Amino acid sequence: MRLASVSLCVCLCLASEVAAQADPFEPVAPLVRQREDARALAALGRLPRPVREGPRGRYLRGRLLERLGRWADAAEAFPVGEASAGLPESVRRDATRRRAIALARAGRCLDAIALFETLGDEPLAQARAAECRLAAGRDDAVEALRGVVRRRAPVV
């Protein structure tokens, strides 16, 4: 009998721990899936500050703002560097890429170039960095574009 009581207590403790670890983004998820981006953004804003301002919350905010065409806001939302700690590496790189694209679309090409360059020799990142150089009127724009074409023409 005592063993059954201990087992039940352990099960109840585990169940309450699992319930406490429920996904904090649960109220936002259905809105995202239904592409109710403005409503999802509002729901995200109602989540507790540590959730909405953590790496996952910032990444989701960036994606929603991106889908709404709010490029400057999206660029600021995407977590990069230390702000993205805890996200999988593929998501960290995606956040950097998306932030750079959003910066370029917001007319902040010089800022975007620096981020594109952190992505190494990804062909599309190099092409976008070259386009930003051209848009910013940099002297090295034409050579950068030629370099992209020479190295990556089939991909770009």
Q: If pLDDT is split at 50, 70 and 90, which confidence band does 1 have?
A: very low
Q: If pLDDT is split at 50, 70 and 90, which confidence band does 84 have?
A: very high
Q: What share of the chain in percent tops pLDDT 90?
A: 65
Q: How many CA atoms lie within 13 A of 3 on its CB side?
A: 0
Segment 95-108 mean pLDDT:
96
87 token code pair: 């996200």
Instruction: Answer yes or no: pTM beyond 0.75.
Output: yes
**Alpha-carbon torsion (131, 133, 137, 143), positive or negative:** negative
How confident is the model at residue 120, as a pLDDT? 86
Q: If pLDDT is split at 50, 70 and 90, which confidence band does 5 have?
A: very low
- Given a cut of 60, whether residue 94 has pLDDT beyond it is yes
16-73 tens-digit pLDDT: 444 456 899 999 999 999 999 999 999 999 999 999 999 999 999 999 999 999 999 9
H helices, E strands: number in the chain? 10, 0
